């Protein structure tokens, strides 16, 4: 039996699903600034894309990235966070 995380990662491999998921989590983050939820969600997207986010990603890094582009694509956000 699969875990929810395994199911989520599988679904996020579809670019349309990942894009919609990112849009929702960024909207929620802009409302409540729950860093743990945002990071967990971003790690799921990254895992689906075969990338591991660095452990040092924190609120300051995310705030800086999102101030430049409040609506980044999955690819832009992951590239910025991983330096690729």
SS (H, E, C) the chain: CCCHHHHHHHHHCCHHHHHHHHHHHHHHHHHHCCHHHHHHHHHHHHHHCCCCCCCCCCHHHHHHHHHHCCCCCHHHHHHHHHCC
CB 49 within 8 A of CB 78: yes
The reported pLDDT for the residue numbered 84 is 63
Residue bearing the bigger pLDDT, 61 or 16: 16
Query: What tens digit of pLDDT does each residue of 14-41 get?
Result: 999 999 999 999 899 889 988 888 888 9
- pTM equals 0.79
Domain membership of residue 59 as a residue range: 4-82
The reported pLDDT for the residue numbered 80 is 79
Domain count, the chain: 1
């Amino acid at each position: 039996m699969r875990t929810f995380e395994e199911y989520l990662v599988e679904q996020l491999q579809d670019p349309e699903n990942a894009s919609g998921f990112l849009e929702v989590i960024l909207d929620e983050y802009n409302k409540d600034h729950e860093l743990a939820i945002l990071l967990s969600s971003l790690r799921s997207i990254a895992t689906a894309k075969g990338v591991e986010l660095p452990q040092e990603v924190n609120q300051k890094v995310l705030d800086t990235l999102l101030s430049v582009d409040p609506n980044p694509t999955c690819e832009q956000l992951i590239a910025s966070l991983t330096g690729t």
